[in-house]
Structure 1
């Protein structure tokens, strides 16, 4: 296949920086308007659950797109599709900023999910196209750390934009960001894929089946979904708890989300620092700490109803979730280097499908009322994570005994 604009060698450095710059786009697309959720519900005269659905629809379409887009990117290249999707994403953002129709917003958020999914899968695969060995492992371990800049910066910025200009300004910002990145991509980037796979549904299906039937890979994705669900449940309920139950402003809700975004990054840094430690042992220790923090939060909020105790314990829990995500994400993405696009798409796709359904189901059962419901949500996810880790441990021991 002829590549119209291959990546130039002298642009490899800046193209890598641009790829890293695009990784937080999914975080920005979800987190920047988190402080605005209560205001959006009031302005459009819809329920909190209806406006929270804008997050779930994004996550569902973001996840589903990644399930199939990896094979398309492996067959037709990363560059052109990513560039087109940036422009479509910008257009959808402008439409959202100019309507108060919740159903039109739902449609645009679905478009957001599909376009961002294509961009992110392409940029993850970019690193596998260009780098190898220890350098590739180093870059893969940075993914969740770089991604976490979105949850750190976005709600902080969104809280101020909401206060000064209204919730619509969040989506104008997203449109402007996408257009700037599209321009830089057009000038400096190019096609990173050198060997195109033949687009065969049968062969692609066999690759998907092989990956899914690999227990360490598929259960690793389940752990990713459980870890990020903790963050997403806070994102969907935290602003309502802080603004309605604790009576603080959207700016304070934005600061709180910033702090918890930083917690995710801390978990990523600890994951990178312990990258060479025995995998299962460190994951079991981390999960034990997570369950301990959830139980301590449960005890604390029986006596104190405060934003400080809420954020303190949520911070510790999010650090452990970030640690799980960093380790399993690095593991899953490096598991099948010959099919990087498909592995990236399947990992991200299934993860976000799990997150979308699980987080929305949990908040439907435990709505955004107070800290108690948030704590019960954390506890439920931690228990399920413990069960999955136990299964992983048993399967790993069985494989070791069989090999011996």
Structure 2
């Protein structure tokens, strides 16, 4: 079994955290192909992304309380089994309606590894160590989404869009083996009360009542909504508007993922030198700068791919700094309810991102402006939330 504090355990937790992004990033270059082969309009194909986020949100609210009661590992195995079955359904889908439904079910399974990997970190680590661990996981996790779109672009070009889901299915099998044979149970004290509808929902009360938790969840929501704005719109912007190939798009997306990895590394250094408050402030500044620079490029007439992906790289640099630290800060006060706190965070985050994704899908046309406006709005909202909540954050524990 893997030991606490080892790089191997961090790598396995990062892989669990990456299940959700890989489920989406691998098939992103195939969205135009899916629209063509399944004879579906772009807004309908966009629903394969939004349906995934809705399922992701719904499932996250469940996994945490169940894992607080029954343990992390058994709940994780059930989630991965559902993920594998739904991914196989994606491979076999013959209509856009079936693919949307299968993606929803895939998300129900993918949510488990993401929620429970955060809960496991809170089980094992405290304070800055938890923030550092989540940042390290982000560094390793970022490598997979950096590779996934490029890999998916090649698979789509050589074998068609179904092959991208076959690759995700194989990865799911590898992760299941790691969980079964290498991951220890980390829950130290299970909740003693029976899990009923009343106790299920009442468990979220002390979590949402914490003002610091609400602040950090808001920062996470705005930050992640910006990511999803880019994820949901980028393949159409780059391929349909700027005419790049699926392989080139995969490379562009990989550059943005690499910027995210750089952001996690910078975040670790800033956390050690400045503490969580100032480190978060730097990350939020990158978010706002990335979104505003994309608008600035379009305003001055830079209607080229670089005017989109360079600002997106700046934004992703901020994401790498902001997300791990804000998540760790949100979970820190809840040692005995880490699962519930992680579930609620993920639920709110994904519902908000799904609404943003649906909105940008409706506005997409022959211009990159919807992407730029949404990215800037999300980045500035995260920065503004950080700026106006100093007194609330100051009442929490500084680490």
Query: What TM-score do you get using the length of structure 1 for normalisation?
Result: 0.88
Q: Which residue of 2 aligns with 1:3?
A: none
**Residue pairs, 1:244-259, within 5 angstroms:** 244-259=240-255
**Residue pairs, 1:29-68, within 5 angstroms:** 29-68=23-62
TM-superposition CA deviations, 1:328-385 (whole Å, max 9, x none): 1221132312211112212222211211112322332x31533322212222223433
Does 1:319 pair with 2:317?
yes
Q: CA deviation at 1:42?
A: 1.0
Q: CA deviation at 1:12?
A: 8.3
Greater displacement, 32-41 / 197-206: 197-206
Q: Which residue of 2 aligns with 1:328?
A: 326
Any conservation in 1 of the 2:81–2:109 contact (CA below 8 Å)? no
TM-superposition CA deviations, 1:5-25 (whole Å, max 9, x none): xx6879988555433322211
Any conservation in 2 of the 1:226–1:385 contact (CA below 8 Å)? yes
3-state DSSP class of the match of 2:243?
coil
Q: Which residue of 2 aligns with 1:265?
A: 261
Q: Which residue of 2 aligns with 1:382?
A: 379
TM-superposition CA deviations, 1:37-56 (whole Å, max 9, x none): 11111111111111111111
TM-superposition CA deviations, 1:30-83 (whole Å, max 9, x none): 111011111111111111111111111111111221112201011011212222
2-structure distance, mates of 1:286, 1:13? 25
Does 1:69 pair with 2:63?
yes
Q: Which residue of 1 aligns with 2:338?
A: 340
TM-superposition CA deviations, 1:108-140 (whole Å, max 9, x none): 111111111122222222233344566444323
Instruction: Tell me the C-alpha RMSD between the 2 structures.
Output: 2.6
Q: Which residue of 1 aligns with 2:288?
A: 291
**Residue pairs, 1:71-110, within 5 angstroms:** 71-110=65-104
Q: CA deviation at 1:282?
A: 4.3
TM-superposition CA deviations, 1:137-169 (whole Å, max 9, x none): 432332333332332121111111111111000
**Residue pairs, 1:145-294, within 5 angstroms:** 145-198=139-192, 199-201=194-196, 202-276=198-272, 277-294=274-291
Q: Which residue of 1 aligns with 2:390?
A: 393
2-structure distance, mates of 1:135, 1:384? 28
Gaps of 5+ in 1: 1-6
Q: Structure 1 residues 216, 128: CA separation in 2 closer, same or farther (over 3 Å shift)?
A: closer
Q: Which residue of 2 aligns with 1:4?
A: none
Q: Structure 1 residues 252, 188: CA separation in 2 closer, same or farther (over 3 Å shift)?
A: same
2-structure distance, mates of 1:30, 1:378? 19
Gaps of 5+ in 2: none
3-state DSSP class of the match of 1:306?
coil
Does 1:360 pair with 2:358?
yes
3-state DSSP class of the match of 2:389?
helix
Any conservation in 2 of the 1:243–1:253 contact (CA below 8 Å)? yes
TM-superposition CA deviations, 1:188-214 (whole Å, max 9, x none): 334332422123444443431111121
Any conservation in 2 of the 1:36–1:167 contact (CA below 8 Å)? yes
3-state DSSP class of the match of 2:186?
coil
Residue among 344, 363, 371 paired with 2:368: 371
Greater displacement, 123-132 / 219-228: 123-132
Q: Which residue of 2 aligns with 1:120?
A: 114
Greater displacement, 379-388 / 283-292: 283-292
Residue among 129, 149, 174 paired with 2:123: 129
Q: CA deviation at 1:253?
A: 0.9
